[in-house]
Amino acid sequence: MPSYPIWCNEDPDVFLREVGPGLFVGAKGAASVRPWDLVVDLHGVELVTADDLILHPFPDGNPFPSEVLDQAYSKVERVRDQGGVTLIACDTGRSRSASAAYAMLRTIWGVGRNDANNRISTQTTVPVGRQRRMSVTHPRRETLSSAFDWVEHRLERLRA
């Protein structure tokens, strides 16, 4: 079994990584990297034609609209069950898209809380003077917190 995330392209305009089998997270430029069965575009600039597209921009750092996660859940699950590939994209691929991917990993793939969080957090090396240091980036608190809440509510409904 592969260890996630699997980096595909660290270019800041693409920032593409696979966080689960067939589930990719990226920046706005990731949409043009390959054909996708489903694109969840949270940035709001339709950059790709996919077999299926969810276009729902909202400002970064705001709570995640639960109706977007509800819609994404059913479509991502269908694409996964058919063996397809999904891209969840936003402007930089670090907050909105990562938060949505966290929700999908937890509810569709059954990934545990810590593993899902590790898969969506990004590690990059940044120059600090003459040295390079590892920097870990997490999604914005408000966006990820609302995705956490949605996951807990969804998991309660699935258990009932």
- pLDDT per position as a tens digit, 10-21: 888 888 999 999
In a domain, 38, yes or no: yes
Q: From 73, 146, 141, select the one nearest 107 (Cα to Cα).
A: 73
Whole-number Cα distances in Å, 2 to 17, 30, 106, 110: 13, 21, 17, 16
pLDDT at 56: 82
Encode pLDDT of 79-121 as tens digits: 999 999 999 999 888 889 999 999 999 999 999 999 998 898 8
CA distance 144 to 114: 13
Domain span at residue 89 reads 6-151
- Number of domains the chain contains: 1
In a domain, 123, yes or no: yes
pLDDT at 48: 56
Q: What is the CATH classification number for the domain harbouring 128?
A: 3.90.190.10
**Structure pTM?**
0.86
In a domain, 159, yes or no: no
In a domain, 160, yes or no: no
pLDDT at 10: 81
In a domain, 100, yes or no: yes
46 vs 114, residue with greater confidence: 114
In a domain, 134, yes or no: yes
In a domain, 103, yes or no: yes
CA distance 143 to 64: 5
H/E element, 16? strand 16-20
pLDDT at 70: 93
Q: From 32, 41, 8, select the one nearest 22 (Cα to Cα).
A: 8
- Structure tokens given for 18: 């696979």
In a domain, 133, yes or no: yes
